[in-house]
Chain A
Amino acid sequence: MDGPAYRVIGKSLPRADAWEKVRGRPIYAGDLALSGMLHGRIVRSPYASARIVSIDTRAAAALSGVAAVLTHADVPRNELRMELPGRMAEATAGAVLATQPVLAADRVRFQGEPVVAIAAETPEVAAHAAELVEVEYEELPGVFDPLESLRPGAALVHEGGNVLRRWQLRKGDIREGFGRAEVVVEHTYRTPFVDHVYIETETGVGWIDAEGVLTLRVSTQVLEHFRDVAEVLRLPHSRVRLEGAYLGGGFGGKEDVTVECLLGLLVWKTRRAVQLVFSREESFIGHGKRHPYVMRYKTGAMRNGELVALEAELYSDAGAYAALSPWVLFYSLVTATGPYRVPHVHVDAATVYTNNPIASAYRTFGSIQTCIAYEGQMDALAQALGMDPLELREKNFLHKGDAIATGQVLESEPMLGETMRRAWAALGPPRRAEAPVRIGRGLAASFTPYGRMCWTRDSASAWVGMELDGTAVVRCAAPDVGGGQTASLCSIAAELLGLPAERVVAVGRDSHFTPRAGTTTATRQLFMSGNAVLKAAREVRRHLVEQAAEMLEAAPADVELYDGRAFVRGASDRSLALAEVVKAATAAGRPTQVLDKFDAPSAPTIDPLTGQGKPFNDYTFGTQAVEVEVDEETGVTRATRLVACYDVGQAINRQSTEGQIEGGAVQGLGHALLEEVVLEQGISKNPHLLDYKIPTTLDAPVIESILLESGNGLGPFGAKGIGEPAMTPTPAAVMNAVSRAIGRRITDLPITAERVLAKLKSRA
């Protein structure tokens, strides 16, 4: 392939932060200790649904070493509001949006809901005080299943009703579609609550700075939460500052507010520095999970495999408060058909309140559940048709110029067939196993949006500046969740400015001191902040080139920047160190520092009745293929080999891109085989890593990543986002592989040994 020749972009480069991380040096949010710092502790509801009769904090407050024991009465505006700019009100019309209080007042709606916040001189005293808080509860009936929650007479979680939000998608004529269909397959798929299990729990430390600004250093994907803290405390937004730290993982679980408002409240009330660290158990019961879904799918096709109709009902369990549930479900709506041409589509989707844990953002944001269903359906359909599953997919894949079910026409080729064929081929020749082990192979194609919904009018800003020594600085408030976001921004600037990557540094991720970049969520940072850095760096480059042209007595068009020097094209003896150019440019009054902003293309909200419109600017397409071994005696499944092939547009840092894919695949494998938050009447039975298993080195398969680079993405250099897409197809591929191995269709996750054995005992 003849791509443009980049000097930094696309290489496999160690990240600057890696050298610090291997030495154990980065100061994570929970590592920062300030002198005289208090320690926070949260008293949480042990009940999933109860009325608070009384809260008695007197004994706790009287304990020596306790600085504050706060209840709802101490919260100036007791509401965790989430105001996203950009037509969100319009898009939310008709929803019952129940926001969570910071501290529960008269009612608790899920186990783990915060009721009292304590600050004390030591963690031990804070823990003791928590035991002395007396909260009297009166248990209330609850509802713990989204389908039961929809029934008349179900206990109400909120006054406005249990349906948080419905969405619908209509295309063609579903009756006509099924009228034509020669083969119809119907299955119901069920997925569980899943936890992010970042290794670093939610943490933060806060203080009031010399200017009286409430400053919080928090492990968060969203520095813009400073506004939410300000709203809760009724402070001007400018009086609250969020300082970003390295994150010990996020995956969407640090997208909603976690410690921010509780911490801000404790600091503001005590006027002292406070540290708040959630224990692993608190993390399990306290933060939003991946939504469990029930998905009823009916897919119709002609005998030749051509899809003609798809009907789906999607129900997601939102848990006790709204959080991001409407939008998670919206991603499911948009992706409900999978990356296939389907002329007649009818999807009804509802996200429903229960007294289960809150569900909210988790990597793929609603795209993973539908992939399980649409790809399960494709394999079931292939079986019903007696057709090769790859051939069936190939026949129906979307191509450039085709429309997805919302009517949005794809402006570039998704390359789905190539991703599928290459992933499948790379699994290698078939292997045989001896009883009791059965081998199965399966795959799943997928599409996942990158970047926010078009109607949000998303934007990101960045500042790029040269130093007099010829190094460059990027300032951009994009939290680095560990995916290498910061290093990629530096690489983009380095490429433009002709510098080796290590001569560009990014300083600060801070709501006060760095340009607003927006959230590190929705696979948007490379697309959004990447483009902002690109724009700013391009402008700096223009000034440097003009200056160098003058100095080298050449036309600007003939000046090239690389290796930290300015050259005249074709005359390698005529060059200048960039530092000299920067000094001269500064002396000449040329700008060498530029602040710029990137605005994503926007579009109106989608039609609320038909779901028609342009929901997202672009999508990342790819396929994962996996081989599993299933022991038919024990039911235990092991993934042995996994191949992922995506069109990533352009890898910015190959190592980071592969890292995203490998990590996403293993996280998806956990979702497929191991992970489930087990609840009994809303009470978690496994809020510990001993009982909630995630994949270890012994569970992870050998993984191969195949990167296609079409250059068609909307990010810098034609890059697409990969963070979330990396995980989307894994559970579906594993489910299809296990189904193939045992000759029975698996439809429910996780695929535990018990489920496999039960299926094996059932008739095919």
Chain B
Amino acid sequence: VSLDLDFTLNGRPCRIDCPPHWTVLDLLRDGLSLLGAKDGCGEGVCGACTVLLDGRPIRACLVLAARLDGHALVSIEGLEGDALDPLQDAFAELGASQCGFCTPGMIMSAKALLAVDPAPSAHDVREALAGNLCRCTGYVKIIEAVLAAAQRLGSHSAVEGEGG
């Protein structure tokens, strides 16, 4: 038995068969060879597999691939167009990525935040990323990068920093 999925992947139509027990993460990594989403715990805690389903962040390791049928999925590989996404630029420039293993998931969560709140406060960023674990950076430069990206994207000027 296999599923016949028809969905939008990173802006393009995608039709693929997959075993019914596969998660979105299995499908991305093993079915589609998209390796940006990482498996850090397999139980929805670390956030390294975060991708966007119809614009909302999901834990790819917890959601069955069957859910994708008729929907739109965006992974880290689908974020850049002709240029990198401002989040990607800001993460690289400001040193928000160290070992890089949490980075794709972190950026996808940030992307989802900026889509609904283009001018988040530092605290908003902390809340939005609280489900993405990073062990290298202490989150300082990650939060800075999201705020910087918001500012670059932003029409809104009021972006708060944190303490000084």
Q: Which residues of A contact B (CB under 8 A)?
A: 12, 14-15, 17-28, 30-31, 33, 196-201, 246-249, 251, 277, 279-280, 481-484, 641, 655-656, 658-659, 662-667, 688-690, 694-698, 700, 702-703
Cα of A656 to Cα of B99 in the assembled complex, Å:
11
At the interface, yes or no: B117 with Cβ under 8 Å from chain A?
no
Cα of A481 to Cα of B45 in the assembled complex, Å:
22
A-B contact pairs, 10 of them (CB 8 A): A12-B95, A22-B97, A23-B80, A24-B76, A31-B35, A199-B134, A246-B99, A482-B99, A688-B43, A696-B130
At the interface, yes or no: B120 with Cβ under 8 Å from chain A?
no
Inter-subunit contact B126/A200 (CB<8 Å): no
Say which one of B1-9, B65-73, B102-110, B151-159 lies at the interface with A: B102-110
Tell me what chain B mostly uses at the interface: helix, strand, loop, or mixed.
loop
Cα of A282 to Cα of B129 in the assembled complex, Å:
26
Inter-subunit contact B138/A14 (CB<8 Å): no
Inter-subunit contact A694/B101 (CB<8 Å): no
Inter-subunit contact B137/A690 (CB<8 Å): no
Inter-subunit contact A667/B135 (CB<8 Å): yes
Inter-subunit contact B77/A23 (CB<8 Å): yes
At the interface, yes or no: B100 with Cβ under 8 Å from chain A?
yes
Inter-subunit contact A659/B136 (CB<8 Å): yes
Taking CB atoms, residues of chain B closer than 8 Å to A700 are: 126, 138-140
Do A688 and B140 form a contact, CB below 8 Å, given A14-B92, A22-B97, A23-B76? no
Taking CB atoms, residues of chain A closer than 8 Å to B92 are: 14-15, 18-19, 21-22
Residue of A whose beta carbon sits closest to that of B141: A659
Given contact pairs A19-B92, A28-B101, a sample of 18 additional A-B residue pairs in the complex whose CB atoms are under 8 Å apart = A15-B92, A18-B92, A18-B93, A18-B100, A21-B97, A22-B92, A24-B35, A24-B37, A200-B38, A481-B99, A659-B136, A664-B138, A666-B139, A696-B130, A696-B133, A697-B129, A700-B138, A700-B139
Inter-subunit contact B100/A663 (CB<8 Å): no
Inter-subunit contact A199/B141 (CB<8 Å): no
Inter-subunit contact A280/B42 (CB<8 Å): yes
Do A659 and B101 form a contact, CB below 8 Å, given A27-B35, A200-B38, A690-B43? no
Cα of A12 to Cα of B94 in the assembled complex, Å:
8
At the interface, yes or no: B84 with Cβ under 8 Å from chain A?
yes
| In-complex Cβ contact of B135 among A659, A694, A698 (8 A) | A694
Inter-subunit contact B95/A658 (CB<8 Å): yes
Residue of B whose beta carbon sits closest to that of A426: B164
Cα of A178 to Cα of B12 in the assembled complex, Å:
77
Inter-subunit contact A689/B46 (CB<8 Å): yes
| In-complex Cβ contact of B94 among A27, A482, A655 (8 A) | A655
Cα of A617 to Cα of B80 in the assembled complex, Å:
47
Do A698 and B130 form a contact, CB below 8 Å, given A21-B97, A655-B94? yes
Cα of A200 to Cα of B142 in the assembled complex, Å:
18
Taking CB atoms, residues of chain B closer than 8 Å to A18 are: 91-93, 95, 97, 100
Do A484 and B101 form a contact, CB below 8 Å, given A23-B76, A251-B135, A688-B45? no
Nearest chain A CB to B83's CB is how many angstroms away?
12
- Interface set, chain B 46-97, CB cutoff 8 A to A: 46, 48, 75-77, 79-80, 84, 87-89, 91-95, 97
Do A200 and B99 form a contact, CB below 8 Å, given A23-B80, A24-B104? yes
Tell me what chain A mostly uses at the interface: helix, strand, loop, or mixed.
loop
Inter-subunit contact A663/B101 (CB<8 Å): no
Taking CB atoms, residues of chain A closer than 8 Å to B39 are: 30, 277
In the A-B complex, the 7 residue pairs with the smallest Cβ-Cβ separation, listed nearest first, are A24-B36, A482-B99, A21-B100, A248-B101, A666-B138, A662-B138, A24-B76
Cα of A475 to Cα of B162 in the assembled complex, Å:
41
- Contact digits for B25-38, partner A, Cβ 8 Å, 1 yes 0 no: 00000100101111
Inter-subunit contact B75/A24 (CB<8 Å): yes
Cα of A19 to Cα of B90 in the assembled complex, Å:
10
Cα of A658 to Cα of B98 in the assembled complex, Å:
11
| In-complex Cβ contact of A697 among B35, B43, B103, B126 (8 A) | B126
Cα of A653 to Cα of B97 in the assembled complex, Å:
14
At the interface, yes or no: B118 with Cβ under 8 Å from chain A?
no
Taking CB atoms, residues of chain A closer than 8 Å to B138 are: 659, 662-667, 700, 703
Cα of A690 to Cα of B45 in the assembled complex, Å:
6
Specify which of B92, B99, B129 lies most central, judged by the most chain A CB atoms within 10 Å of its CB: B99
Residue of B whose beta carbon sits closest to that of A247: B99
| In-complex Cβ contact of B107 among A22, A26, A641, A656 (8 A) | A22
Nearest chain B CB to A531's CB is how many angstroms away?
23
Taking CB atoms, residues of chain B closer than 8 Å to A199 are: 38, 40, 46, 48, 99, 101-102, 133-135
Residue of B whose beta carbon sits closest to that of A641: B163
Taking CB atoms, residues of chain A closer than 8 Å to B134 are: 199
Inter-subunit contact A689/B45 (CB<8 Å): yes
Cα of A200 to Cα of B134 in the assembled complex, Å:
10
Inter-subunit contact A23/B101 (CB<8 Å): no
Nearest chain A CB to B35's CB is how many angstroms away?
5
Inter-subunit contact B130/A663 (CB<8 Å): no
| In-complex Cβ contact of A24 among B41, B77, B141 (8 A) | B77
Cα of A33 to Cα of B33 in the assembled complex, Å:
9
At the interface, yes or no: B143 with Cβ under 8 Å from chain A?
yes
Cα of A160 to Cα of B103 in the assembled complex, Å:
47
Inter-subunit contact B43/A689 (CB<8 Å): yes
Taking CB atoms, residues of chain B closer than 8 Å to A27 are: 35
Inter-subunit contact B101/A200 (CB<8 Å): yes
Do A22 and B140 form a contact, CB below 8 Å, given A656-B95, A697-B129, A702-B162? no
Inter-subunit contact B42/A279 (CB<8 Å): yes
Taking CB atoms, residues of chain B closer than 8 Å to A14 are: 92-95
Inter-subunit contact A22/B130 (CB<8 Å): no
Do A22 and B91 form a contact, CB below 8 Å, given A199-B134, A663-B135, A694-B135? yes
Taking CB atoms, residues of chain B closer than 8 Å to A25 are: 36
Residue of A whose beta carbon sits closest to that of B37: A24
Taking CB atoms, residues of chain A closer than 8 Å to B37 are: 24
Nearest chain B CB to A703's CB is how many angstroms away?
5
At the interface, yes or no: B147 with Cβ under 8 Å from chain A?
no
Residue of A whose beta carbon sits closest to that of B80: A23
Taking CB atoms, residues of chain A closer than 8 Å to B45 are: 688-690
Taking CB atoms, residues of chain B closer than 8 Å to A662 are: 137-141
Cα of A690 to Cα of B46 in the assembled complex, Å:
9
Cα of A21 to Cα of B45 in the assembled complex, Å:
21
Taking CB atoms, residues of chain B closer than 8 Å to A28 are: 38, 101
Specify which of B79, B104, B133 lies most central, judged by the most chain A CB atoms within 10 Å of its CB: B133
Inter-subunit contact A248/B38 (CB<8 Å): yes
Nearest chain A CB to B60's CB is how many angstroms away?
12
Inter-subunit contact A482/B43 (CB<8 Å): no
Nearest chain A CB to B160's CB is how many angstroms away?
12
Taking CB atoms, residues of chain A closer than 8 Å to B24 are: none
Residue of A whose beta carbon sits closest to that of B85: A22
Nearest chain B CB to A720's CB is how many angstroms away?
19
| In-complex Cβ contact of B99 among A198, A641, A696, A702 (8 A) | A198
Cα of A349 to Cα of B55 in the assembled complex, Å:
56
Taking CB atoms, residues of chain B closer than 8 Å to A280 are: 40-43, 46
Taking CB atoms, residues of chain B closer than 8 Å to A251 are: 135
Do A249 and B84 form a contact, CB below 8 Å, given A14-B95, A280-B43, A697-B126? no
Taking CB atoms, residues of chain B closer than 8 Å to A694 are: 133, 135
Taking CB atoms, residues of chain B closer than 8 Å to A695 are: 139
Taking CB atoms, residues of chain A closer than 8 Å to B140 are: 658, 662, 700, 702-703
Nearest chain A CB to B52's CB is how many angstroms away?
13
Cα of A702 to Cα of B161 in the assembled complex, Å:
10
Taking CB atoms, residues of chain A closer than 8 Å to B162 are: 702
Taking CB atoms, residues of chain A closer than 8 Å to B30 are: 33
Cα of A402 to Cα of B144 in the assembled complex, Å:
41
Taking CB atoms, residues of chain A closer than 8 Å to B43 are: 280, 688-690
Cα of A700 to Cα of B89 in the assembled complex, Å:
23
| In-complex Cβ contact of A249 among B35, B79, B136 (8 A) | B136
Inter-subunit contact B41/A249 (CB<8 Å): no
Taking CB atoms, residues of chain A closer than 8 Å to B130 are: 696-698
| In-complex Cβ contact of A15 among B41, B88, B95, B133 (8 A) | B95
Specify which of B36, B132, B135 lies most central, judged by the most chain A CB atoms within 10 Å of its CB: B135
Nearest chain A CB to B130's CB is how many angstroms away?
5
Nearest chain A CB to B18's CB is how many angstroms away?
14
